[in-house]
Amino acid sequence: MPGKPKNQIPSLAKLRRQYPTEAACRAFLEELRWPQGPFCPHCGSYAHWALNGDSCRPGLKECADCHRQYTVTTKTPLHATKLPLWTWIQAIYLVLTSSKGISSVVMARLLGTTQATAWRMGHAIREMMHHRYDIGPALSGTIEIDVKYLGGAPK
């Protein structure tokens, strides 16, 4: 990254040490999307409770106002993804740290996905970056970036 000290960008290996499990990756994405705490993507309410039963999807919450359920990926391009969240985090990292962009061919090779999957991820990530959520604060000290992330605003 021209003009930026190299030590501001951690290696993927370091990120993996910080986020070694799907649960840790989910917590990371929650921190990115919800720096002020989770809010309902359906009605914008912050009031919620976590659903922790064995039959529940990980990270599932129920809104205390509209009673609809959601997770950190609801109403984002990551919703219903079959890919591990770690694959998404790596893809986000590659897009954000490639100042001239990264081709789906290269991304597929680095992530071990098909090119079609890498293309869809790249498209989804660029779409998220056009939304109005700033992931800068959550990543300060992690990745020095200035982008907009995951859509949906609290009321």
Kindly state the DSSP code that residue 11 receives in the 8-state scheme: -
Q: Which of 142, 97, 90 is nearest to 111 (CA)?
A: 90
Q: What is the distance of C-alpha 144 from the center of its chain?
A: 15
102 touches Zn ion by CB under 5 A: no
Binding mask 24-63 for Zn ion (x = CB under 5 A): ----------------x-xx-x-----------------x
Nearest distance from residue 78's CB to Zn ion, in Å?
Answer: 19
Work out whether the CA dihedral 83, 89, 94, 96 comes out positive or negative.
positive
Nearest distance from residue 65's CB to Zn ion, in Å?
Answer: 5
Q: Which of 123, 150, 119 is nearest to 135 (CA)?
A: 150
# binding residues, Zn ion (CB under 5 A): 7
Amino acid identity of 71? T
Q: How many CB atoms lie within 10 A of CB 57?
A: 9
Q: Where in 58-97 is the site for Zn ion (CB under 5 A)?
A: 63, 65-66
Nearest distance from residue 149's CB to Zn ion, in Å?
Answer: 21
Of 82 and 155, the one with the shorter C-beta distance to Zn ion is 155
125 touches Zn ion by CB under 5 A: no
Nearest distance from residue 148's CB to Zn ion, in Å?
Answer: 23
Of 73 and 117, the one with the shorter C-beta distance to Zn ion is 73
Of 63 and 111, the one with the shorter C-beta distance to Zn ion is 63
Contacts of 70 (CB under 8 A, 6+ apart): 40, 41, 42, 60, 61, 63
Q: Which residues bind Zn ion (CB under 5 A)?
A: 40, 42-43, 45, 63, 65-66
